[in-house]
Structure 1
Amino acid sequence: MGRPRARRGDGVSASVRRWRHDLHRIPELGLREHRTGDYLAAALREIGVEVTRGVGGTGLVGTLRRGTGGAIGLRADMDGLPLTERGERPYRSENDGVMHACGHDGHMAMVLGAARRLAAEGGFAGTVHFVFQPAEEHGLGAAAMIADGLFQRFPMDAIFGLHTMPGQALGRIATRPGPLMAAEDNFEIRVIGRGGHAARPQMVIDPIPIAAEIVLALQTVVARTIDPAEPAVLSLTEITTDGARNAIPGRVVLRGDTRSFTPEVRELLERRIREVAAGIGAAHGARCEVTYTHEFEATVNDPSAVAAALTAARLTVGDENVDGDVTPWTASEDFGAFLRVVPGCFALIGNGGGASLHSPDYDFDDDALDTGVGYYVNLVRTVLETP
């Protein structure tokens, strides 16, 4: 299999790399992307793209019009992660304790590169909105932009995005119709007993063995409740108490995370968590309170948008470097909230080997940038064909 080759625009490649490195230096946490927004707005205006700031807080939208026709969105996420970057690369984060460890610097640079090529070359009829979304890592930014009237103020027939994927061949583009990435929910179970002296257990309702039973019972929810053909994950991630070495606690708090792809499985996971906690607590004379929150929507691709994305991907890297039926990924992505409002397609672009996402050693591979720019340009020209 040959290495993917993207079609390049004259002078664009060097600018895209510079943008990526500059953005990597100035990472900011969600809804604090002020310097990032300033940088993006300046770059878009220099290209000749109309800019609207403050969409959903720190988000922004660039708009490029070429004649009449439909409208589509190209989305990039803006925020970094609360991690201290390792390594001595020349464009290392200048914001101590924050870094771009999820490739958002590369995502923004690829959309900027597509904007530059499309502004200079045209080749499409209609409107492209370049959507720069804040707070993806929190799962808050897409909803904030939608609530601020994103799709009313910037009408679009479809929206598209890319995410870097370590472990996937460099520059390879993969997607699928239907569910691509999972919904994420968080839960907290408060086991409320009656604490007391560790030497007098007969006087207490010990929440620790009750919590332990709940932990073990929850391990059977996916294995014995969910259809084996339906992907689902239930993870306990934290246990805390208000006890001490010689004091039995009165309360234990369990926290965890679930992933699913369909509303039915999502509802079933929540129901069983509540039932298991309430039943075991009642059996021991304790009370269990459950909080269950929806953090990310599932990313469910529209089949017609996927067809357009695959056409653009093949034009960019060739049939042999495109996977149109990639295995769904149980990580979550805020892009899914957009897809509940308008159709679209989210795809993965290979980052080769190296560190995993959300690692302090991660770095976006610059050799994937041209592929992403070429894909977006071909996508716009595929969807917004000139008459």
Structure 2
Amino acid sequence: MEIQLASRVGALTPSSTLAITAKAKELKAQGKDVIGLGAGEPDFNTPQHIIDAAVKSMNEGFTKYTPSGGLPELKKEIAAKLKVDQGLEYQLNEIIVTSGAKHGLYTLFQVLLDEGDEVIIPIPYWVSYPEQVKLAGGNPVYVEGLEQNNFKITPEQLKEKVTDKTKAVIINSPSNPTGMVYSREELKALGDVCLENGLLIISDEIYEKLIYGNAEHISIAELSEELKKQTVIINGVSKSHSMTGWRIGYAAGDSKIIKAMTDLASHSTSNPTTPAQYATIAAYAGSQDAVETMRKAFEERLEIIHGKLNEIPGISCIKPQGAFYLFPNVKEAALMTGCKDVDEFAEVLLTEANVAVVPGSGFGAPDYMRLSYATSLEQLEEAISRIHQFVESKA
């Protein structure tokens, strides 16, 4: 008998970022000198005091189940962080600890969406947004953030996409993949549209600590009490504290939504990993010096490699304000090198130039590619040099 898989699985598109990373590792294992610029994680180890806190918790016997929504002690630290950083007041029943921010988003869509509900997703988008919406029975509705507007959507664009089926809109600032940051005024204008139409705002703020230049991270929830009531904040320690593998994120919002997410988590993950929760308590309660050290390192790399990337024929790149990605337009370079599109260009860069990048098609922007600068400056400069040499040799 042939096993028939559920139709919802057949409709899934695999994560392009994880696929590129896996391919790069495979080539490295074969002895190829591949420089991977696909990874969406800091190249720093988790700060030592956080690791020590996890070890201490295990040695003291804290290796059992916790409440499905997370340790109360950790929720208190998250609430304190939201108060200090955003000036926002949340009660413990308005916070859930999840197995990473990605799981927080997945759980939110599962409790929020009925069949046919629409979620507005700005392009370029993080690869998992549309897939998670579809898995929950919803329909992704796309609105394009144009390059001339720094990849950010306008309130007029948002308003045009609202229908009687629209349930929510996603705002990701700083953005993956573009690194762009919405200003207070831009968020206020988008928020007004959401308030007028009763839309839930899903504010993905996972890169909030990685901000450069004169940019400022603003949570849309902090702009007014009305917006706070209609916003669910998604965040975590993966990027801010270099804890991607620990898988701790959180959601903060209306207690009814958080209770539903907690009830669902009780039947899926039971609870986030216990020692990782104790590590996260230390991450939020302890010194933030390592967070700033990492941010400065990313900013220094950005200052050096952004200009070098723009020197490559057929490539142009807006300077990002946050996260750790460059998102250049490479359509012209792809055509110059004989490739039919950017997907093929990225493939050839990997096989011939030994540089792994992520094609923009996975983010809904096929003329672009994403390069992560979460690797050493030496490796970054070598990677940019290889791309430059490759383009000039083929043009």
User: What range describes the TM-score normalised by the shorter chain of this pair?
Assistant: under 0.3
More strand by share: 1
TM-score after normalising by structure 2: 0.27
TM-score after normalising by structure 1: 0.27
Structure having the higher Rg: 1
